[in-house]
Amino acid sequence: MSSAELTSTRAPRVSAARRLVKRAFRDRDGRFLAEGPQACREAVATPGVLLELYVTADAAARHPEIVAAARTAGADVVRASGEVVASLSGTVTPQGMVGVCARVGTTLDDLLATAPTLVTVLAHARDPGNVGTVIRCSDAAGVGGVVLTEASVDPLNPKAVRASAGSLFHLPVVTGPSVADLLPALRAAGLRVLAADGAGERDLDDLLDDGSLARPTAWVFGNEAWGLPAETRALCDDVVRVPIHGRAESLNLAAAAAVCLYASARAQRRH
């Protein structure tokens, strides 16, 4: 860790890091921000990812293992004032630690080469908090990878990274394919493609009961506001609804994804 504390929010390296909140600069620089101890801990555990660590004296004292791991990994550890770290943070109460990371992600071909048995597809998802939460749910359910179609929000958006709680660094994430190209590729790889939609003809409980969820599956989840368009549903093998047993109108995107992914994970484990 540098001996002198960095106190200027206008320092060139701080300005370079701060601009990574914008997708254009993330794409240009091949870098993104990971805020908080959990995200930085997972970033440094992924070889070659953590490049810089901005940390306050208090945060360094609370998490010496992260600072030590960052040094061992060859990251540039910068002791910074609370004002500097806050300028890189998107939260009301910063946690005193922000990492600058090298871009992570993979290609669709590389993901399918691993022969995944469970894949999450986010079609035109626009809310970064939802995207990060679905990545976290996918990680917890043991999903082989997450694919975000074109026009979806960048999973390296700071809010998405925070919401993923470190899971972004645990599983392959693909960005950019069109729905028209993606779904046939998933099917060709041996995955059954299921659309999650409240108006689906099939009931999730029925699929659990008949054992069909034990098959390799790609779940397709739509936009938070308008769901999946008819042309996307038509490209899927089945359109499945999560049963609503109470009086709630529906489930939000992240909740529906968690229910569907865990149903498949359970069926596959039992199989």
pLDDT tens profile 78-117: 999 999 999 999 888 899 999 999 999 999 999 999 999 9
Give the chain's mean pLDDT: 96
Asked if pLDDT for residue 19 goes beyond 60, the answer is yes
Q: Which phi and psi angles does 194 have, rounded to 5°?
A: -115, 130
Digit-coded pLDDT (tens) for 184-232: 999 999 999 999 998 899 999 999 999 999 999 999 999 988 889 999 9
- Structure token pair of residue 89: 């943070």
Place of tokens 């870098």: 31
Same domain, 177 and 203: yes
Same domain, 24 and 67: yes
Same domain, 207 and 173: yes
- Residue 160 included in any domain: yes
Same domain, 32 and 134: no
Asked if pLDDT for residue 58 goes beyond 90, the answer is yes
- Residue 3 included in any domain: no
CATH number, domain containing residue 58: 3.30.1330.30
Same domain, 128 and 35: no
Same domain, 116 and 86: no
pTM: 0.95
- Parent domain of 160: 108-270
Residue of 143, 140, 170, 175 lying closest to 156 (CA atoms): 175
pLDDT at 113: 98
Long-range interactions of 229-236: CB distance < 8 A, separation 24+? 231/179, 232/123, 232/179, 232/183, 232/195, 233/195, 233/197, 235/179, 235/180, 235/183, 235/184, 235/193, 236/183, 236/193, 236/194, 236/195
Same domain, 130 and 89: no
Total domains in the fold of the chain = 2
The domain boundary, picked from 85, 102, 119, lies at 102
pLDDT mean over 18-37: 97
Same domain, 82 and 114: no
Asked if pLDDT for residue 1 goes beyond 70, the answer is no
Position 2 confidence tier, pLDDT thresholds 50, 70, 90: low
- Residue 2 included in any domain: no
pLDDT mean over 237-251: 94
Same domain, 94 and 217: no
Same domain, 55 and 120: no
Same domain, 149 and 234: yes
pLDDT at 3: 61
Positive or negative, the Cα torsion across 66, 71, 72, 76? positive
Asked if pLDDT for residue 70 goes beyond 70, the answer is yes
Q: What's the CA gap between 179 and 221, in Å, rounded?
A: 11
Whole-number percent of the chain with pLDDT over 90: 93
CATH number, domain containing residue 256: 3.40.1280.10
What is the identity of the amino acid at 42?
E
Same domain, 94 and 143: no
